[in-house]
Amino acid sequence: MSESTARTSTVPTVTLNNGVEMPALGFGVFQVPDPGECERSVVAALDTGYRLIDTAAAYLNEDAVGRAVAASGVPREDLFITTKLWVQDAGYEATKAAFAKSLKKLDLDYLDLYLIHQPLGDYYGSWRAMEELYSEGLVRAIGVSNFYPDRLVDLIQHNEVVPAVNQIETHPFFQRTDYQVLMREHGVQIESWGPFAEGRNALFTNPTLTGIGAAHGRSVAQVVLRWLVQRGVVAIPKSVRTERIRENFDVFGFVLSEDEMTRISGLDTGVSAFFDHRDPVQVTRLNEARLPE
């Protein structure tokens, strides 16, 4: 894709349960802690045409994202900026303070999406605070991340605002198809983190994916992102290489056939490639992960 084409491409959107339009493809900055590298990557992504940028307090790069956004020249109303609340800031008062801190680091007047990063601690108190931030117009939509079905449904049934988004591990080896149906029934948009499974299970050399890619003259990464887009799953791939950033954006010029979608569905193991948020050991590890002040 040429640079001029990248800058003028339009990403389709999904409509959240409150009517807000969210780009179907965005750019993530997980595991890009180096400020300079993060800033350069986000500038490259915005220059390519991405408008959804996904960060988190736990990524320790909100400042760099804010600088990149300011340097990009892209009008604020054209952007969709997401960040997330970490476990140590769970609870009503702590959430209000953490939100203000994130907003200051990003150098923004409002957020487009604010997520509870993990279903741990006093996330009910956090949700009450987030409902108020939403009603005050400081954030256009609120949601959650890593919530399994039981916790998501319970949160929905005991609060006024239904989460607009649930960002969860979703990739060819852990497809979450049944969960996507449940979320759709409740008006919650599924968003994928780890769309490439960080290369686990030899994703980039998988015969099914490489074969489909060859048929379209596309990379495995493009096939995976196209598969997610066609499923109605928002994806936020990450890269620090400009050529990959552009390649990952160029997924709207081809369509996977029903047979190809079915073949990819056969790769599902139904098991996380990383960890289970219901595992007591993992819960303890996440609860003990403290961010610097």
| Binding-site sequence positions for substrate | 117
* 259 burial type by CB count under 10 A (0-12 exposed, 13-18 middle, 19+ buried): exposed
Cα–Cα distance for residue pair 248/225, rounded to 1 Å: 7
- Do residues 147 and 117 lie in contact, with contact meaning Cβ atoms separated by under 8 Å? no
The active-site residue out of 50, 59, 114, 123 is: 59
- Kindly state the tokens that stand for 269: 């193991």
| Annotated binding-site ranges | 117
Residue 92 a catalytic site member: no
93: phi then psi, degrees, rounded to nearest 5: -65, -40
Alpha helices in the chain (DSSP H): 3-8, 35-48, 62-72, 92-106, 123-135, 149-157, 177-186, 207-216, 220-231, 242-249, 258-265, 280-288
Residue 170 exposure: Cα atoms within 13 Å on the Cβ side: 31
Residue 62 exposure: Cα atoms within 13 Å on the Cβ side: 23
- Do residues 232 and 15 lie in contact, with contact meaning Cβ atoms separated by under 8 Å? no
Residue (of 47, 41, 39) closest to 68 by Cα position: 39
- Say whether 5 sits in a helix, a strand or coil: helix
- Do residues 194 and 273 lie in contact, with contact meaning Cβ atoms separated by under 8 Å? yes
What is the gyration radius of the CA atoms in the chain, in angstroms?
18
Cα–Cα distance for residue pair 260/7, rounded to 1 Å: 29
| Catalytically annotated residues | 59
